[in-house]
């Protein structure tokens, strides 16, 4: 009977991973579209190029605001309802952005981007939802499998931009209309998701820590700091890249191809990252990720050639994958089920809040740091070094203070 129960739990966990992987692959393809379109549509609508990447920043700010609410909403009403609410926000945000392009309003584009943040925060919780019904040893693999499905979105999103951005008289309008459709298929996918019973969680774990007590846990603090820095550095360079590529004499299709290569690099390692965590532990995987991010920063200091843009963004994607999946696994294994809403919501609020700062800084660095756009791109690369030093430092401190985390 016990073996039958374990097999049933594993089967349910695999089913959720499949559902979330489908959502990651198809509904999630809107995110690379937003990151390609945000700066380009912003530059199209604003007279001041210093604010060109502000739409991307507004998406992240919207995600920061809604992440704690959505996480607590899912704790109370289930993952399925929370993810459907996220796709509704994505559809409304893309609709508002479409109207902004139609009416030539930069401020409406910012509003639409802010609303789109609701989807981004729900998307960020896919990785945690994969662990809800998973056994501890399967959790890193579940996270990796869901994120590996981003391989499809990495290809699909940029290709959709290339196909649709000039389909209408108004540039980029066709792409935002396509994003609306992607959100509309979300509820059909999430209908097959199974949420854990909240009553069982309360019964098995009647007492949970508050947010301050959660932050007093060293593994949780390290997970949050490394997640913040990994995601912020990825966003800092990726947000600036399309503008830098176009500004260095290449075209929009080149920018889309580089972003596609970057997102492929973000997702492809996911097929084995979870297995590496299970075999070697979470700290070595985080360190490897930080090393790749460091290599990306060095390549970014090179000449503004297309091969260097490809190399920097590919290294950036691999580094993000290892360090971010590592930090996510570290967090997921250090809170109880009924602390899920608080821990995951707080984690993503800190992460996306820091990412918002990086995104805001990115536009200023690339366009308004003085000199040429090539010099601005190098300044973006230089700014990565001090943050990487902090991430390495806190992870080493955890290694010294706690002999075994996993």
Assess if residue 195 is contained within a domain: yes
Q: Which pLDDT belongs to residue 176?
A: 95
The number of domains in the chain is: 1
Is the predicted pLDDT of residue 295 greater than 90, yes or no?
yes
User: What's the predicted TM-score (pTM) here?
Assistant: 0.75
C-alpha to C-alpha distances, 41 to 101, 171, 245, nearest whole angstrom = 8, 8, 15
Assess if residue 116 is contained within a domain: yes
Q: Which pLDDT belongs to residue 10?
A: 67
Q: Which pLDDT belongs to residue 3?
A: 44
H/E/C letters for each residue in the chain? CHHHHHHHHHHHHHHHHHHHHHHHHCHHHHHHHHHHHHHHHHHHHCCCHHHCCHHHHHHHHHHHHHHHHHHHHHHHHCHHHHHHHHHHHHHHHHHHHHHHHHHCCHHHHHHHHHHHHHHHHHHHCHHHHCCCCCCHHHHHHHHHHHHHCHHHHHHHHHHHHHHHCCCCCCCCHHHHHHHHHHHHCHHHHHCCCCCCCHHHHHHHCCCCCCHHHHHCCHHHHHHHHHHHHHHHHHHHHHHHHHHHHHHCCCCHHHHHHHHHHHHHHHHCCHHHHHHHHHHHCHHHHHHHHHHHHHHHHHHHCCCCCHHHHHHHHHHHHHHHHHHHHHHHHHHHCCCCHHHHHHHHHHHHHHHHHHHHHHHHHHHHHHHHCCCCHHHHHHHHHHCHHHHHHHHHHHHHHHHHHCCCCC
Assess if residue 110 is contained within a domain: yes
Instruction: Output the domain CATH number for residue 92.
Output: 1.20.1250.20
Share of the chain above pLDDT 90, in %: 31
Is the predicted pLDDT of residue 2 greater than 60, yes or no?
no
> In this predicted model, what pLDDT tens digit does every residue of 135-183 receive, in sequence order?
777 888 888 889 888 888 888 998 899 899 888 899 899 999 999 999 9
Assess if residue 75 is contained within a domain: yes
Is the predicted pLDDT of residue 126 greater than 50, yes or no?
yes
Q: Which pLDDT belongs to residue 370?
A: 60
Give the lowest-confidence range in 30-34, 347-351, 361-365: 361-365
> In this predicted model, what pLDDT tens digit does every residue of 296-331 receive, in sequence order?
999 988 888 899 999 999 999 999 999 988 998 888
Model confidence band, residue 402 (pLDDT cutoffs 50, 70, 90):
low
Q: Which pLDDT belongs to residue 117?
A: 93
> In this predicted model, what pLDDT tens digit does every residue of 224-256 receive, in sequence order?
888 888 888 888 888 788 888 888 888 878 888
Q: Which pLDDT belongs to residue 356?
A: 81
CA pair distance 287, 282, nearest whole angstrom: 9
Q: Which pLDDT belongs to residue 19?
A: 95
Assess if residue 192 is contained within a domain: yes
Assess if residue 246 is contained within a domain: yes
Full residue range of the structural domain in which residue 108 is found: 2-401
Assess if residue 406 is contained within a domain: no
Q: Which pLDDT belongs to residue 317?
A: 93
């Amino acid at each position: 009977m016990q073996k039958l129960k374990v097999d049933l739990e594993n089967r349910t966990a695999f089913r959720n991973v499949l559902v979330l992987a489908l959502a990651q692959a198809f509904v999630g393809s809107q995110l690379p579209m937003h990151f390609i379109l945000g700066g380009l549509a912003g530059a199209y609508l604003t007279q001041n190029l210093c604010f060109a990447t502000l739409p991307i920043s507004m998406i992240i700010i919207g995600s920061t605001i809604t992440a704690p609410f959505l996480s607590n909403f899912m704790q109370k009403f289930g993952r399925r309802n929370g993810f459907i609410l996220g796709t509704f926000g994505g559809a409304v945000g893309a609709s508002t952005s479409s109207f902004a392009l139609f009416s030539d309003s930069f401020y409406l584009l910012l509003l639409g981007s802010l609303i789109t943040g609701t989807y981004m925060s729900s998307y960020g919780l896919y990785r945690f939802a994969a662990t809800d019904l998973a056994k501890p040893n399967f959790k890193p693999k579940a996270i990796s499998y869901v994120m590996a499905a981003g391989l499809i979105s990495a290809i699909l999103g940029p290709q959709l931009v290339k196909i649709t951005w000039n389909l209408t008289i108004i540039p980029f309008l066709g792409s935002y209309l396509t994003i609306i459709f992607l959100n509309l298929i979300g509820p059909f996918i999430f209908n097959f998701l199974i949420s854990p019973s909240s009553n069982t969680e309360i019964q098995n774990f009647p007492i949970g820590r508050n947010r301050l007590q959660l932050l007093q846990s060293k593994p949780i603090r390290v997970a949050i700091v490394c997640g913040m820095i990994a995601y912020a550095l990825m966003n800092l360079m990726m947000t600036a890249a399309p503008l830098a590529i176009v500004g260095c004499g290449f075209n929009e299709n080149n920018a889309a191809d580089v972003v596609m290569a970057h997102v492929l690099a973000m997702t492809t390692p996911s097929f084995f990252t979870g297995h590496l965590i299970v075999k070697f532990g979470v700290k070595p995987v985080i360190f490897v990720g930080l090393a790749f991010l460091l290599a990306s920063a060095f390549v970014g200091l090179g000449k503004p050639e297309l091969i260097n843009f490809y190399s920097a963004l590919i290294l950036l994607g691999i580094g993000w994958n290892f360090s971010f999946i590592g930090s996510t696994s570290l967090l997921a294994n250090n809170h109880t089920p009924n602390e899920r809403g608080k821990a995951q919501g707080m984690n993503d609020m800190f992460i996306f809040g820091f990412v918002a700062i990086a995104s805001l800084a990115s536009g200023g660095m690339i366009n308004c740091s003085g000199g040429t756009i090539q010099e601005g791109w190098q300044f973006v690369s230089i700014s990565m070094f001090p943050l990487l030093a902090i991430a390495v430092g806190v992870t080493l401190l955890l290694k010294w203070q706690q002999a075994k985390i996993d």
